[in-house]
Structure formats: structure tokens, C-alpha cells
């Protein structure tokens, strides 16, 4: 009898869970399946992990600026006229309008670190840095050493990291940095009891702002693997950008939002060992020296910073990608390492093709996150049948996140094309309005296609069959 009562109670709780998440049916389904397979533990996980996170306060713009709309609508920017709606919608949803600036495209880790470290060394007044991953390796140690030395020299330095992505640095290096004057905070730190609200949410942003005038954004974290020289990882294909001008203020605004929810890190207790660590941090010889920075052209453009997070009523980055697909007139080129969209986005891709838009999707042939890679396979056949050109990249590990629309609008940043980025992470993207930047990113896309192969529906069914593992991974996709 007590087993029957326990089963009934569990059923009622699972039903309550489903009803509570009725406005997000795919998410509700994933949790119901989880609770069915691990009855008690599943409910406990839901109660802890599905609790809302703290709301980051932001001043949302009432409307797009008249200047930005006028510039996007001028004859010189005729290709952008049909995309003005993107700027208007993102101004409403994310709180930042398009502003003037320049952008330099950085196509790999070596060039990114060369430009970034050079700019950090020249900082005169302030440095704000936010990363999902900072490794405790030669690249990470070089980066942290620069921050420590600049803080000791009187520069205001603030460092914000994710509690899981940068776990090793959080435990071993941040107290030392705090001891030399770096203001350090951690978003969603891993602390006892380890199963805490927020543990399933991550700060996935990569933002650096130097002296309020130069910024960096993209897919590259701080670690040796991004240089392509880490043993066992191999070559790494990624995209980052250097931003200057008024557009940097958008990155600064997003940093302040995320800084507001970080937890302060205190300096380590004073001891001879701690003091020795601080001296080494300040005076140690860098283990990694990037090559000389390639002086790529700085491209003038209008830019808009778009952020999203689990505290937002609208999934802003998902809405951005949706608008790119629905507003496109001619072409959409998409690069992403992790492809697990929802029904709205797959429908938008199919409808874009039906309207005569050429949609090309470039994804890795071998995903470094196995479950995500399995889930991605379940989308390939239906998209290929609808006319989406699917390309599998096999030359290197693909980690870039870029969308180019009609050769006039570009999106690059930290956000992947998956449900975790849309629903669970703090994310940031930079929208670049202008043909010159789009042309450079399109050239990079075409170069990447040379190292990829196009797959037909027949090849997908033969080479990438959808089995039980793939279907199971897709069911759990909302929780990945």
C-alpha cells in the first residue's frame, strides 16, 4: 500500500512539474523523462536546478536611436534597409542601440592573444575582463600575470569568471590576484553543498574592455588549446573580434550587468608561501609568448551588443538568430560548434529556404561534446531535405560562432546555436551592420568550406544514422 501511495505522490509531483513548465513544453518533457528514470533524485534535481536566478538590472532602451536608423536606411547601406527591424527589435529586447565603431576580425587564438596581450600591456587606467574559461596553463598564467602587474602599477583591474568553467583558477589563482589588487568575482561558484541553485547556469561570455576604448568579444577563452598547440587537441578554428569606438560601451554595459551577480573573492591568508606566490605572479617570466600581432584592417561599422540570460523574459540571442533567418532576402551563412536548435529556429531555416534564401550551415564533423554532437545529428536529415546546405568541417576543431546575412549583417560572439546558450547561460553577441565586415567573414566562411564537405540527404542517412543514442540525446537537449 505504501508503495502505491508513494507512486501516486510521485505522479502528482511530476504532473505539477509539467504544469509549472507548460509554457516551455520541450523543457518540461526533458524534466518529466528525467524524473521517470530517476524518480526521487530527478525531482530533487528539478527543485534545485530549475529555480530562477537573480535578475540582473538593466536600463532597456525605449527605442532605436534616430541616428542609427537613419544610417541603416541610407542609400549607401541599401543592403541593410531590409534588416533595420533587427536593430529595432534588439534595442527593445537587449537595451542597446547600434553605435559607431571599428571592428578587426581575429580568426584564431594566436592572433587574438597577440592583439589582446599587447592591448592589456598598454592599459593606462582600467581593465575589465570576463571569461567562461581561464586555464591554469601557460596562456592562462601569462594572462593573469599581466593583470597582476597592471593592478600593482595602479591600473583598476576587475576580473569576472565562471565558477565551473574556470574552477581550477578560482581555487588556486584568484585569491593571489586579489592579494595584489585585482578585484575578482565569480559567477555561480561551486561551493558546498555543491548542488545549489544556479549550478546549471553558466556565465559563457568572453568580454574584455581596456581603458573604456578598446574591447574584445568572440568565442575564444583563455587557454592553450585555443592556440592550436595543446597536445591531444590539435588545430583550433575560432573567431574573435577587436572593437573600438562608441561600440565598446555596449560591451562595458554587459560586463557591469554580469559583475552585479558575481561573488567577491577575498585575498588569501598572509603567509610566506602566499607572499612567494604573489611575487612569482608579479615577476614571473611568461610561459607563453604570442606571435607579433598581425595588423588586420580596422573596419568602420555600426555595432550593437546583444546579451541574454536565464533571468530574461525573452531569449534574446535566440530571437536574434530567428530574426536573421526570417528577415534575410538572399543568403544566410551560419557557423556553430554546437547545433541543437528548437522548433522555431528549424522552422525559420526551412521557411528561409522556401522563400528562396540560400542557407548554409557549417558544423564540426566530430563534436568535442559527444552528447551534443549526437543530438545535432537528429536535425541534419530534415534540414537537408528542406534545402539547407549542410557542411561538415573536419580539418580542425571548430569553435567559431558566426552568422552572416545578405552580405550586410554579421553576428559573432560567445553564443552557440543550442538550447543551453538560449535558455541557461549568460551570453553576449556583437551585431555588426556593414558590408565590409560581412565580406571579410564571408571570405573566412568560404575558406572554411574548403576544409569541409557538403553532405546530401542520402549521405546523412548512410553516414550519420539516427539511432537510440541520438534520439535520447535530443530528448535531453533542453537540459544539456
| Same domain, yes or no: 313 and 254 | no
| Same domain, yes or no: 41 and 106 | no
DSSP-derived secondary structure letter, 222: B
Catalytic residues: 204, 206, 211, 399, 401, 406
Is 50 exceeded by the pLDDT of residue 113? Answer: yes
The predicted structure's pLDDT at residue 336 = 97
Close Cβ partners of 193 (under 8 Å, ≥ 6 residues apart): none
| Same domain, yes or no: 343 and 413 | yes
The predicted structure's pLDDT at residue 191 = 67
Q: What are the C-alpha distances in Å from 237 to residues 96, 136, 432?
A: 29, 21, 21
| Same domain, yes or no: 269 and 333 | no
Look at residue 80 and tell me if it is in a domain: no
Between these two residues, 60 and 396, which has the higher pLDDT value?
396
**Is the Cβ–Cβ distance between 296 and 104 less than 8 Å?**
yes
What average pLDDT does this structure show over 276-303? 73
- Domain-ending residue, one of 283, 312, 340: 283
Look at residue 447 and tell me if it is in a domain: yes
The predicted structure's pLDDT at residue 371 = 85
Beta strands in 132-222, from DSSP E residues, in sequence order = 156-162, 183-187, 202-203, 207-210, 214-218
Look at residue 55 and tell me if it is in a domain: no
Q: How many domains does the chain have?
A: 3
**Is the Cβ–Cβ distance between 354 and 464 less than 8 Å?**
no
The strand pairing partners of 157, in sequence order, are 127
Q: Is the pTM of this model over 0.95?
A: no
- The rounded radius of gyration (Å) of the Cα atoms in the chain is 23
| Same domain, yes or no: 206 and 326 | no
Measured between alpha carbons, how far is 389 from 358 in angstroms, rounded to an integer?
Answer: 8
- Domain-ending residue, one of 224, 250, 283: 283
| Same domain, yes or no: 271 and 310 | no
Measured between alpha carbons, how far is 467 from 455 in angstroms, rounded to an integer?
Answer: 19
When mean pLDDT is compared over 44-48, 277-281, 384-388, the highest value belongs to 384-388
Look at residue 82 and tell me if it is in a domain: no
| Same domain, yes or no: 413 and 464 | yes
Between these two residues, 308 and 68, which has the higher pLDDT value?
308
Beta strands in 32-113, from DSSP E residues, in sequence order = 99-106
Measured between alpha carbons, how far is 105 from 217 in angstroms, rounded to an integer?
Answer: 10
| H or E element at residue 474 | helix 468-475
Domain of residue 262, CATH code:
3.30.870.10
Q: Kindly report the number of other CB atoms within 10 A of residue 2's CB atom.
A: 6
Nearest-10 crossing angle of helices 138-152, 272-283: 100
The cell for 411 is: 553576428
What average pLDDT does this structure show over 305-320? 91
| Same domain, yes or no: 105 and 176 | yes
What average pLDDT does this structure show over 78-82? 67
Measured between alpha carbons, how far is 126 from 275 in angstroms, rounded to an integer?
Answer: 25
The cell for 39 is: 524518480
The predicted structure's pLDDT at residue 60 = 44
Between these two residues, 477 and 249, which has the higher pLDDT value?
249
| Confidence tier at 252 by pLDDT (50, 70, 90) | very high
**Is the Cβ–Cβ distance between 35 and 7 less than 8 Å?**
no
Domain range enclosing 193: 98-283
Is 90 exceeded by the pLDDT of residue 275? Answer: no
Q: What is the pLDDT of residues 27-59, one digit of tens each?
A: 666 666 666 666 656 655 665 566 666 666 654
Close Cβ partners of 70 (under 8 Å, ≥ 6 residues apart): none
The cell for 260 is: 552585479
| Same domain, yes or no: 351 and 261 | no
The predicted structure's pLDDT at residue 289 = 78
Minimal CA–CA distance to 106: which of 245, 242, 305?
242
- Which of 122-136, 213-227, 262-276, 452-466 shows the lowest mean pLDDT across its residues? 262-276
Look at residue 64 and tell me if it is in a domain: no
Minimal CA–CA distance to 374: which of 414, 422, 338?
338
The predicted structure's pLDDT at residue 25 = 60
Look at residue 159 and tell me if it is in a domain: yes
Amino acid at each position: 500500500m505504501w508503495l502505491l501511495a508513494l507512486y501516486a505522490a510521485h505522479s502528482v509531483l511530476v504532473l505539477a512539474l509539467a504544469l509549472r513548465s507548460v509554457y516551455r513544453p520541450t523543457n518540461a518533457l526533458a524534466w518529466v523523462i528525467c524524473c521517470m528514470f530517476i524518480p526521487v533524485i530527478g525531482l530533487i534535481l528539478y527543485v534545485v536546478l530549475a529555480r530562477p536566478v537573480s535578475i540582473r538590472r538593466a536600463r532597456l532602451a525605449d527605442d532605436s536611436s534616430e541616428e542609427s536608423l537613419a544610417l541603416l536606411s541610407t542609400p549607401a547601406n541599401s543592403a541593410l534597409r531590409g534588416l533595420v527591424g533587427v536593430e529595432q527589435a534588439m534595442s527593445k529586447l537587449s537595451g542597446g542601440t547600434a553605435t559607431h565603431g571599428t571592428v578587426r576580425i581575429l580568426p584564431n587564438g594566436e592572433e587574438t592573444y597577440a592583439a589582446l596581450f599587447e592591448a592589456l600591456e598598454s592599459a593606462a587606467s582600467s581593465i575589465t575582463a570576463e571569461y567562461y574559461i581561464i586555464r591554469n596553463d601557460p596562456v592562462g598564467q601569462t594572462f593573469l600575470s599581466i593583470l597582476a602587474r597592471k593592478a600593482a602599477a595602479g591600473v583598476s583591474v576587475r576580473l569576472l569568471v565562471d565558477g565551473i568553467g574556470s574552477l581550477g583558477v578560482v581555487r588556486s589563482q584568484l585569491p593571489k590576484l586579489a592579494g595584489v589588487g585585482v578585484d575578482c568575482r565569480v559567477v555561480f561558484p561551486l561551493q558546498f553543498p555543491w548542488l545549489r541553485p544556479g549550478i546549471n547556469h553558466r556565465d559563457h561570455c568572453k568580454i574584455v574592455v581596456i581603458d573604456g576604448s578598446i574591447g574584445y568579444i568572440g568565442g575564444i577563452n583563455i587557454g592553450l588549446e585555443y592556440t592550436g598547440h595543446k597536445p591531444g587537441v590539435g588545430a583550433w578554428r575560432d573567431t574573435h573580434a577587436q572593437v573600438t569606438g562608441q561600440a565598446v560601451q555596449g560591451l562595458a554595459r554587459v560586463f557591469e550587468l554580469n559583475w552585479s551577480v558575481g561573488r567577491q573573492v577575498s585575498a588569501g591568508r598572509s603567509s610566506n608561501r602566499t607572499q612567494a606566490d604573489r611575487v612569482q605572479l608579479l615577476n614571473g617570466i611568461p610561459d607563453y609568448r604570442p606571435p607579433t600581432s598581425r595588423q588586420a584592417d580596422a573596419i568602420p561599422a555600426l555595432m550593437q551588443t546583444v546579451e541574454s540570460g536565464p533571468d530574461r523574459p525573452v531569449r534574446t540571442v535566440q530571437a536574434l538568430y530567428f530574426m536573421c533567418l526570417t528577415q534575410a532576402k538572399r543568403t544566410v551563412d551560419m557557423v556553430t560548434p554546437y547545433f541543437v536548435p528548437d522548433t522555431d529556429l528549424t522552422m525559420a531555416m526551412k521557411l528561409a529556404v522556401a522563400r528562396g534564401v540560400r542557407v548554409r550551415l557549417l558544423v564540426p564533423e566530430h563534436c568535442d561534446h559527444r552528447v551534443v554532437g549526437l543530438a545535432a545529428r537528429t536535425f541534419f536529415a530534415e534540414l537537408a531535405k528542406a534545402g539547407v546546405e549542410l557542411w561538415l568541417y573536419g580539418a580542425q576543431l571548430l569553435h567559431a560562432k558566426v552568422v552572416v546575412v545578405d552580405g550586410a549583417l554579421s553576428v559573432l560572439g560567445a553564443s552557440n546555436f543550442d538550447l543551453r546558450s538560449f535558455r541557461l547561460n549568460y551570453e553576449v553577441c556583437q551585431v555588426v551592420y556593414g558590408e565590409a565586415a560581412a565580406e571579410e567573414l564571408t571570405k573566412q566562411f568560404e575558406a572554411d568550406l574548403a576544409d569541409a564537405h557538403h553532405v546530401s540527404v542520402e549521405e546523412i542517412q548512410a553516414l550519420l544514422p539516427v539511432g537510440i543514442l541520438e534520439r535520447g540525446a535530443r530528448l535531453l537537449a533542453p537540459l544539456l
